[in-house]
Structure 1
Amino acid sequence: MSSPEDDHPEVGLPKGKIVLGSHFATSGTYGAAFKPVGRGLAAYFRYVNAEKGGVCGREIEFIPEDDGYEPAKAQEVTRKLVEQDKIFAMIAGLGTAAHGAVWEYLNTKGIPDLWVMSGAHKWAADPQAHPWTVPLLPDYRVEGAIQGKYISENFPGKKVTILYQNDDFGRDTLAGLQSGLDPSKNELVGAQSYEPTAVSVSSQVTNMAQTKADVAICACIPGYTAQAIEQADRLGWEPQWWVGYVNSDKLMFSYTSAETMEGAFTLNANKPIDETSDPAIAEHIRIMNEYGDVAPANFSIVGQNAGMLTEFALQKACEKGPLSRESLMEAVESITGYYPTDPKYALALP
């Protein structure tokens, strides 16, 4: 591995350091839902500094900023990270609308924009126009297609409806669902949308219930998911619920009871946090207990995955020569079939 080139340091690479930044919600309603992602990322970077001596002979200086899940605030904190803090790369910017407000800026500035914490289809739809952006989460269109295919295979003849957030997240899920459903087996009898700023989705769920659908998809973030299922219960409507993977954490039970969520389907690409006998889960729990400030959870695992990919990409870049933003992107683009060989880091489902 090459030694750091500190005589003429690149922006974001002061002597002995790599400065990384991120934006995500840590306060308010959305912070309650998604804070563990950022905390898992920060804990992993602290672990790398403390137990591995950093990466590329440098300590990771990580600067997370709270954007409250608001696009305007995301723009403000991202400009601060780039223009004042002089970050080397943006890591795991979270939220479809929030990150959508800053990715053009990051690409214009030539800032590596890695492991976007949103499954919006647009992040990878045109890599030539956005060469600095690399998403991490499964595409929402793919998730919707999986849902549709599963419903047609396992609930033939059943009527289907969907509640979706009126942004790329929800619209991508709807498009995927429509592509995955077999129209000869299932009819999509309704599609209700809500704005990300909505106070309530009760009227939309009432409209859904009137269709008497047997299966209901909720392309919603946790607070709205809880509202939807609770309203359906109040109406006496009991469809088979399928909720987006953005709800696949025990944090859901801070919005509603486990009894309310009983029987709902969701997807998850990682091992669940309660599989404590798994060596990777056991190590994640140790890292969070020693270096984190929130309880280990499914979403803190997502954060650690982003941290491990960052570490891996930086190491690959340094092995090729002096570290630069361009060499980091070349390393990222060369990654194929990534899966940790050490079982204590294998958090993703194989």
Structure 2
Amino acid sequence: MSKSAGKKQKQASFKSGVSPIPTPFTKAPTSLDPFLEQLDPAQVYITHIDRHLVETKKQIFQIPVLLNGGIALLLAWRIYAAFPFYWAILLTLLGYPSSATVDTANTTRNEQVWILAKRTLVFLADFLAFRFVGVWPLGFFLEQPCNPVIWRWKIGFRADEIVVRVSRNWGAKDLMDGVKQGEENAFFKTRILPAIEKQLLRQKTGYLLMDKSWDLDFQLMLDAHTLVKQEKFEMKALDKLVLAHMDGVGWIAWQWETDYDVVEERRKKVVAFKEALTKAGKESLFWKWMDILENERDTDGGFTAEGQQRVADRVQVAFAKEGINFEELTKDVGGVEGLTVKKP
């Protein structure tokens, strides 16, 4: 064998060892197979755990319930009020006399044009209302196989909730096809990175994360909770994951924040929290806060939803007595998560 042939063989062997999976993705863990089997390979998914306070989630969800409920009632009233008008129009079209029949012999051309214009405007207004506004309550209350109401009815409001976002108007091909894949891809930079920005996830509950690039898959969120309950995998396995399907490889995943990152961020937040109180001459409140946390943890054996809310209430009262606005203070150190919810 010639030296050149040997070099070619060695070079080919080296290339074959290169992983086809683009950075920062890796092969999705097999433990998630029961969940991955239910995903659409054409889509990209983001999963994380929503740890906002239960009371906050309730308040946020009340807004779309009231809004869509109000719209549904208005549309129902419009159907009731407009039925006689449209029934009369239908009778006229079928050749029967009705209140909508125009007496052409005793009306002028201008009057007839005005009647036609008014009815056209009514038709147009009703069409636009039901076509573009009516879809909101329809999807909110009746969309199948799952909708926000069914989702909330089945899981209620929990301290830890699995959120599953699915790409909207783009998908896995946009992310994985072409020369630039993974983190070098434009869709990774413009669709994925903004969607996992820390400040965004601190400010918004899972339900508020729908936008032009991402939708919520309520059925998958229910399925994920069911699989966790069945002990197919732990809930934390779906925390902070980006999932995509790659031809010839299968499902690949990127966990954008590890457990170490979470612990380290909480440690830094607690340090900043203590320093802010010390600077205000209220360091004793830091130890008061620690006492409240330990007391609630010992009472419940952990942080239940009720325990979290009691912590928040007790801390706010204690700080208010010292003239400190707890909410304003926590905003300065990056939010309440990690301070009143879980111990770092």
How high is the TM-score relative to the length of structure 1?
0.29
Higher helix share: 2
Which structure is higher in RCO with an 8 Å CA cutoff and minimum separation 6? 2
How high is the TM-score relative to the length of structure 2?
0.29
